[in-house]
């Protein structure tokens, strides 16, 4: 996979500058998060700590490929991702190193971090069901598994199996129900799709509003983004769509994380640990909640008023590390199910 030329330039600049940066109060971050979502946090960190943050943004797979190619000379100090599966991959590939931090261990619950400290969850995201208010009653919905029932034939919208969010959803099912039941579910969803997978999570929600399907699977923060959008068409679409928390009588709502780890090549270890600790701090967790409408991983931090308005829910409790561990199996099951 080729990186955009602008990324080569930025990364090259970081690489050239690396020797001079060793003694500087700086930290280099490779981030798969949208700049406008992570920049407020990094700016706040720089303001409070005096440590400059050099940010390189790209897709997770691109960044991991870049780090692998750069090897020990990589200028990256922190890898920040949008899903636990990529953090797990980076660890398996030897691209991360463990961090021993009492502050991180205290701030991040054990199920949201790597058992050996290779990565830490920084925000939680719920993947739920969205339904057409005029065609589906909440009482008609129950679980993720129920969507594989033939009664939903031609009524489901969901993005491609290449979406790591869907891969982690299936990985969670593998952890709870086993591979055979997870594969049967994937085949059932394929049979019930209203259209071939296309677009992102917002597109699935918009398709429900447009009448192309009756139920979609998507992350809640995309719904929040549409509700607070300055685009009239997005606001009009979400007004027609309701949010449903599935599996409340069983394992609970599927929960994933965005997270980060210190790279194996880190040249600014002290600064990197300080940044990780800041991102897990109450101040940063509040920014995640209020700006991104994600769920804080730290205990005692409330979600945004918008998210709180959706009501409380029961989340699943499996360690998110299992989502990364089961990712390769999930990908194979999707392929066998014909989920494209």
Residues 270 and 232 in one domain: no
Residues 117 and 133 in one domain: no
Q: Is residue 95 part of a domain?
A: yes
Residues 105 and 19 in one domain: yes
Q: Is residue 312 part of a domain?
A: no
Rounded Cα distance, 207 and 189, in Å: 16
The tens digit of pLDDT for each residue in 298-317 reads 988 999 999 999 999 999 99
Q: Is residue 311 part of a domain?
A: no
Q: Is residue 314 part of a domain?
A: no
Residue 35 pLDDT: 84
Residues 185 and 143 in one domain: yes
Average pLDDT of the segment spanning 327-337: 97
Residues 279 and 226 in one domain: no
Q: Is residue 22 part of a domain?
A: yes
Average pLDDT of the chain to the nearest whole number: 92
Residues 186 and 242 in one domain: yes
The tens digit of pLDDT for each residue in 26-80 reads 999 999 988 888 898 999 999 999 999 999 999 999 999 999 999 999 999 999 9
For the cut 50, the answer to whether the pLDDT of residue 11 exceeds it is no
Residues 328 and 193 in one domain: yes
Would the annotation count 288 as a binding residue? Answer: no
The range of the structural domain enclosing residue 233 comes to 126-253+319-337
Residues 118 and 134 in one domain: no
What is 274-325 written as a DSSP string?
HHHHHHTSHHHHHHIIIII-PEESSTTPPPPHHHHTT---PBP-S-THHHHH
Q: What is the total count of domains within the chain?
A: 2
Residue 40 pLDDT: 87
Q: Is residue 133 part of a domain?
A: yes
Would the annotation count 221 as a binding residue? Answer: yes
Residues 136 and 193 in one domain: yes
Instruction: Name beta bridge partners: 300.
Output: none
Residues 61 and 112 in one domain: yes
The tens digit of pLDDT for each residue in 83-139 reads 999 999 999 999 999 999 999 999 999 999 999 999 999 999 999 999 999 999 999
Residues 131 and 259 in one domain: no
Residues 260 and 246 in one domain: no
Rounded Cα distance, 129 and 245, in Å: 7
Contacts of residue 14, defined as CB under 8 A and 6 or more positions apart, other chains included, come to 28, 54, 56, 75, 76
Q: Is the pTM of this model over 0.85?
A: yes
Q: Is residue 309 part of a domain?
A: no
| CATH number of the domain within which 146 lies | 3.40.190.10
């Amino acid at each position: 996979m080729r990186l955009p030329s602008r990324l080569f330039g930025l990364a090259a600049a970081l690489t050239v500058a690396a020797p001079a940066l060793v003694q500087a109060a700086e930290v280099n971050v490779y981030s798969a998060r949208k700049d406008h979502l992570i920049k407020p946090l990094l700016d706040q960190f720089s303001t409070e700590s005096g440590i400059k943050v050099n940010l390189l943004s790209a897709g997770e797979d691109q960044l991991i490929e870049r780090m692998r190619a750069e090897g020990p000379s990589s200028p990256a100090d922190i890898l920040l991702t949008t899903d636990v599966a990529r953090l797990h991959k980076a660890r398996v590939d030897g691209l991360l190193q463990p961090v021993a931090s009492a502050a991180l261990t205290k701030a991040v619950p054990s199920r949201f971090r790597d058992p050996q400290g290779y990565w830490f969850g920084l925000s939680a995201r719920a993947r739920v069901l969205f339904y057409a208010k005029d065609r589906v009653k909440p009482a008609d919905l129950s679980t993720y598994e129920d969507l594989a029932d033939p009664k939903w034939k031609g009524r489901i919208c969901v993005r491609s199996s290449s979406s790591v969010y869907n891969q982690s959803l299936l990985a969670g099912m593998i952890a709870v129900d086993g591979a055979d039941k997870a594969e049967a579910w994937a085949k059932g969803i394929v049979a019930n799709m209203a259209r071939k997978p296309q677009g992102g999570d917002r597109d699935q929600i918009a398709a429900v509003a447009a009448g192309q399907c009756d139920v979609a699977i998507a992350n809640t923060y995309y719904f929040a983004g549409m509700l607070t959008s300055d685009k009239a068409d997005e606001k009009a679409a979400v007004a027609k769509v309701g949010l449903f928390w599935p599996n409340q009588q069983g394992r609970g709502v599927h929960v994933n994380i965005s997270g980060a780890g210190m790279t194996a090549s880190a040249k600014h270890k002290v600064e990197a640990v300080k940044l990780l600790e800041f991102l897990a701090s109450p101040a940063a967790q509040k920014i995640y909640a209020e700006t991104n409408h994600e769920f804080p991983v730290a205990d005692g931090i409330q979600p945004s008023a918008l998210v709180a308005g959706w009501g409380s829910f029961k989340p699943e409790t499996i360690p998110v590390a299992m989502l990364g561990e089961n990712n390769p199996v999930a990908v194979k099951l999707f392929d066998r199910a014909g989920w494209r």
